Amino acid sequence: MTVQKVIIIGGGPAGLVLAHGLQKNGIPYEVYERDESPTSRSQGLALSLHWALPYIEKCMSPEHYKNITRASVNPFDADNVTFVVIDGASGETLIKHNNAAPYPTALNTVTSKSYRVSRRRLRDFLEDGVEIHWKKRFKEYELTDDGVIVRFKDGSETKGDILVGADGARSRVCDQLCGDKVQKNVLPFVFVAVTIPVNREQYQQLYKISSTHGVVTGPNFGPEGNRAIFFSMLDIDEANDQYKILIVMTWKNSSGEHGLPEDQASRVKLIKEIGALYCDPFKSIILGMNGDEVIWTTTILEKLPSPWNNHGKVTLIGDSAHSMSMARGEGKNACYKLSRPSCLLYNHCLSKFSACNYALRDAAELCDYLVEVNSGKLTAVQALGDYEDTMIKRSISAVLASRDAIYSRHTPKNSVQN
């Protein structure tokens, strides 16, 4: 079977890496994205790319991949990546890990290469060379004898051989394909993120602590456990003396009594109250908020996949199949000398948003299978079945580990034993 067209719903990192891989292998594709334009929706988060880098590289031309540092939170210092865990009361550095040290990965291999990237810059990098159809909200698909018809909410439609859902945790493709075959759970945690401009002095203070990102442990605030702050450089432009950092706060809210207020002023007030409990420079940066900052929150949704009938025509990659909490770490072999509390922090905080690495692996491996279909070595039914079998098995393990990670991160300190 020669693949005439792969339809990709979703222009996020996984969908775009798949598009690059198909393009590299001469397989026609179309990418459809619900956003109005590349800049219509905030991309104000950062993430870590590490063990997925070989998968990205495999899908791209060497000329394109060599520019991946464009996506860095600091493109002029992209190779300097440091993760730290800081005691939020004393300011003591509990753990420090940088690119110069071997890094245990989810693939049971070791690498020292990683990048801390801006999601906005990563999207810009991945969009380069890929045609995207914007303002296309997926409505439904229909299986036909020779492929699949995809319909959009604007009344338009397209036809292809294979449909790939890459449309995120709330994937409409997944809803139609899987129904109740994907178990969805909303975890009882508050997640709030804010981008804060800082001055050169504040940036330099942070840079001395970590060149890129880290976790600041927080005090217990009751039986629900402790709060945690995650910080990351987000948009560093030393040439123009402009610096933005990302602050993320998380805490457990099983009781429902510790949620986030609805209005901006109350949210800023709460964020400052929490920030006041921490050491400098985090305390002074948070207390210096002017109140106009964009505050972003989301529910933490996890999805546990189970096998579905792909009909040889429809499949999923990334969060569309297996979303997980934003606390997954890959450092399980690197902290055997640490106390249990520090080891938990290292294991579960080393790479925030590691889910992206799993999604990129999905994209690259699905691309490999589609190349086999295109060459006639596998049927589409065989290829999608083999891909989903391995993807689902590793995803279940990752989702459960991520769940354990976020609960462990917020365990009351006096309940964790050395």
Domain range spanning residue 271? 189-293
Q: Is 63 domain-assigned?
A: yes
* Cβ 231 vs Cβ 204: under 8 Å: no
Are both 276 and 395 inside the same structural domain? no
Same domain membership, residue 131 and residue 29: yes
Domain co-membership, 289 together with 347: no
Query: Does residue 384 register a pLDDT over 90?
Result: yes
Rounded distance, CA 118 to CA 13, Å?
A: 12
Same-domain check for residues 153 and 80: yes
Cα separation, 185 vs 159, whole angstroms: 33
Total number of domains in the chain: 2
Residues 6+ apart with CB under 8 A from 234: 44, 46, 73, 118, 195, 244, 245, 246
Of 33, 106, 115, 36, the closest CA to residue 73 belongs to 115
Instruction: Give the pLDDT mean for 5-28.
Output: 98
DSSP annotation of 352: T
Residues 6+ away with beta carbon under 8 Å from 90:
279
Instruction: Tell whether the model's pLDDT for residue 415 goes beyond 70.
Output: no
pLDDT at 118: 93
Residue 142 placed within a domain: yes
pTM of the complete model: 0.90
- Token pair in block for residue 194: 């804010």
**Is the same domain home to 266 and 305?**
no
If you compute the radius of gyration of the chain from its CA atoms, what whole number of angstroms results? 21
Q: Which residues of 250-282 are buried (b: 16+ CB within 10 A; e: fewer)?
A: bbbbeeeebebeeeeeebbebbeebbebbeebb
Residue among 183, 215, 229, 228 at smallest CA distance from 323: 183
The label of the residue with tokens 């299986």 reads 143
Boundary (domain end) residue, out of 246, 270, 293: 293
How far is residue 141's CA from residue 357's CA, in Å, rounded to a whole number? 28
Residue 107, pLDDT > 50, answer no
Q: Rounded mean pLDDT of 328-343? A: 37
At residue 171, the pLDDT reads: 96
pLDDT band at 404 (very low <50, low <70, confident <90, very high): confident
In a shared domain, residues 14 and 145: yes
CA distance 175 to 171: 6
Greatest alpha-carbon span in the chain: 66
3-state DSSP assignment of residue 263: coil
Range with the largest mean pLDDT of 17-21, 210-214, 305-309:
17-21
Helical packing angle, 340-349 and 380-409, nearest 10°: 140
Choose the final residue of a domain: 293, 314, 340. Answer: 293
Domain-terminating residue out of 293, 320, 339: 293
pLDDT given at position 102:
52
Residue 1 lies in a domain: no
CB 21 within 8 A of CB 185: no
**pLDDT over threshold 80, residue 178:** yes
- Are residue 21 and residue 155 in the same domain, yes or no? yes
Residue 349 has pLDDT above 50, yes or no: no
Residue 256: partners with Cβ closer than 8 Å, 6 or more residues away: none
Q: ω before 219 within 30° of 0 (cis)?
A: no
**28 and 127, same domain (yes or no):** yes
For residue 329, tell me if it sits in a domain: yes
* CB-based contact 195:286 (threshold 8 Å): no
pLDDT digits (tens, 9 = 90+) for 244-264: 999 999 888 887 778 889 999
Residue 116: in which H helix or E strand, if any? strand 115-118
Least confident of 61-65, 184-188, 289-293: 184-188
pLDDT of residue 353: 43
Judged against a pLDDT cut of 90, whether residue 266 lies above it is answered with yes
> What confidence category does residue 112 fall into, taking pLDDT thresholds of 50, 70 and 90?
low
The lowest-confidence range among 80-89, 212-221, 230-239, 388-397 is 212-221
**pLDDT band for position 223 (cuts 50, 70, 90):** low
Q: How far apart are CA 141 and CA 288, in angstroms?
A: 50
C-alpha 243/C-alpha 121 separation (Å) is 15
Same domain, 209 and 153: no
- Looking at the fold, whether 62 and 141 belong to one and the same domain comes out as yes
Q: In this structure, are residues 8 and 19 in contact, taking their beta carbons and an 8 Å threshold?
A: yes
Q: What CATH number did the domain enclosing 374 receive?
A: 3.50.50.60
Instruction: Please indicate, yes or no, whether residues 313 and 403 belong to a single structural domain of this protein.
Output: yes
Distance CA 413, CA 409 (A): 10
Q: Are residues 175 and 254 in the same domain?
A: no
Quote the pLDDT of residue 410.
74
Tokens, residue 375 = 């060459």
Confidence check: pLDDT of 176 > 90: yes
